Amino acid sequence: MLTRRTFFQSSIVAGGSLVAGAPLVLPARLFGAQAPSERVRVGFIGTGNQGMGLLKRFLAAELGEVVAVCDVNEGSFGYKELDHFYGRLPAKQLVEADAKKRIKSGVVPTCEAYADFRKLLDRQDIDAVVIVVPDHWHRIISVLALEAGKDVYCEKPLTFSVADGRPLIDAVRKHKKVFQTGSHERSNPVSQFVCEAAKSGKIGTLQKIVTKVGYNNKVGPGPGWQPMPVPATFDYRAWLGPAPEAAYHVDRCLYRFRFHYDYSGGQITNFGAHCNDMAHWGMGLDVGGPTEIECLDAKFLPAGSLFNTATETRFRCKYANGVELICESGPEMVQTRFEGTTGWLQTGYKGTTASDPALLKDCPPAAKGTSDPHSAHLANFVECVKTRKEPRAPVEVGNSSAVLCHIANAMIRLFPETGPVVAKWDAQNEKFIDNDDANRMLVREVRNPWG
């Protein structure tokens, strides 16, 4: 008998996702009109700043049934902004309040809240998980979810190191699961239009791409900072997990984890995972990488500061097709500019422009509300869970974008000692050629028992 569960766990059917550049319309079958037995049952792992944002969109678009949430934080203020109150109990309350609002009569389903993600993965009634945790947990939780038979949506950057990529790709293909990287610009009609236009030659032969990543948007304590007591509602040991042992400070965790190399890669892996993914997309190189890379500038906080990722940087890549990529810090959070022999196109969070307005004649308007890129990206994932097609940002694409950011960070971290050094990169084998110092940064130590 073909049950809903066995259908979801069948092999992936060959085929593509929705057409790039098509109107951002979410199919009616993804919404609440379908019978409960046909709705995808989902667990959210990580309910902090980004996790709660995705959860709210998932509920607003009625993409499926959220039956469980998980976070090592029971609930607290102080995520991206001081008045943000997030965690597993606020998430549980949000889901149950949404269900109560939608169900006019009968029993309102409950949403289980877990502190340990493994208990959520043990549930056989969960079809898919949305993983929105610090980067150092991405591969570990994703692989365990795949082994538990779940389809996976994992936030970008997909990996924490170059060495994380291959085991994750192998797990996705071995278990025949749908895997979506949270590179939501792949579901943005404007980004689709610009990248496809660059790829198709509408600005002539592509010569140069310039990407922008925002400056650090938080300030942590400087040298001499002191440890703080761990809040009673926060399991700090579980939060650290595979990362090195370290004294607790509120600015080490929650939203600010991204400014510590032990858990993330700064704005290069945060915003850079979007704009540099678009750079690869626009040059028609979804899977692959540069032939050489060079850090041109990097600035850091004083030694002993709690935050240790680069505050400003600029790096250059060259590709086998002759394209040069420059990625640099700036006031724009995300911006990608394609320069060709006959014109240029530029898009980012502040809008889209071109050398000739005629190039933007067919560019769709920016989407808002429940049809924004985040919602559409989640909808594409749910659609693919049902159809078993490949999503817009499959695991190989997410890995290539993350690898570019990781090798950039390797050169950035070496910059204070070496200055500008051109490093040759072997994209097929994912290693530097004749640069042992940089190669040592492609693997991140994993603390037991997670190793």
pLDDT at 421 over 70: yes
In angstroms, the CA 39 to CA 35 distance is: 7
pLDDT of residue 37: 53
User: Is residue 131 a part of any domain in this protein?
Assistant: yes
Are 51 and 132 contacting, i.e. CB atoms less than 8 angstroms apart?
yes
Pairwise CA distance, residues 155 & 406, whole Å: 16
> Residue 78 sits in a domain of what CATH number?
3.40.50.720
Tell me, yes or no, whether 298 and 328 share the same domain: yes
Give the integer Cα–Cα distance in Å for 267 and 252. 15
Q: Which domain holds residue 27?
A: 4-186+372-394
Q: How many angstroms from the chain centroid is the CA of residue 288?
A: 18
Query: Is the pLDDT score of 262 beyond 60?
Result: yes
The verdict on 307 and 327 lying in the same domain is: yes
Q: Name the pLDDT band for 104 (thresholds 50, 70, 90).
A: confident
**One domain for residues 158 and 259:** no
Least confident of 37-41, 177-181, 286-290: 37-41
Share of the chain above pLDDT 70, in %: 92
- Higher-pLDDT residue of 13 and 79 is 79
What pLDDT score was predicted for residue 22?
38
Do 273 and 412 share a domain, yes or no?
yes
Span between the terminal Cα atoms of the chain, in Å: 39
Q: Are residues 176 and 318 in the same domain?
A: no
Q: Predicted confidence band at 108 (pLDDT cuts at 50, 70, 90)?
A: confident
Q: 25 Cβ partners below 8 Å, 6+ apart?
A: 371
Is 113 within a domain?
A: yes
Please compute the mean of the pLDDT values over residues 125-135 and round it to a whole number. 98
Mean pLDDT of the chain: 92
pTM > 0.85: yes or no: yes
Could you read off the pLDDT of 195-232 as tens digits, one per residue?
999 999 999 999 999 999 999 999 999 999 999 999 99
Q: Is the peptide bond before 167 cis (omega within 30 degrees of 0)?
A: no
Residues 304 and 377 in one domain: no
Do both 433 and 334 map to the same domain? yes
Q: Is residue 450 part of a domain?
A: no
Rounded CA-CA distance 45/338 in Å is 36
Q: Are residues 224 and 117 in the same domain?
A: no
CATH for 250: 3.30.360.10
- State whether 434 and 380 are in the same domain: no
Compare 11 and 429 and report the one with higher pLDDT. Answer: 429
Is residue 322 a contact partner of residue 188, using CB atoms and an 8 Å limit? no
Q: How confident is the model at residue 310 (pLDDT cuts 50, 70, 90)?
A: very high
Task: Let me know whether 331 and 413 are in one domain.
Answer: yes
Q: Looking at the 3D structure of the chain, how many domains does it have?
A: 2
Same domain flag for 286 and 195? yes
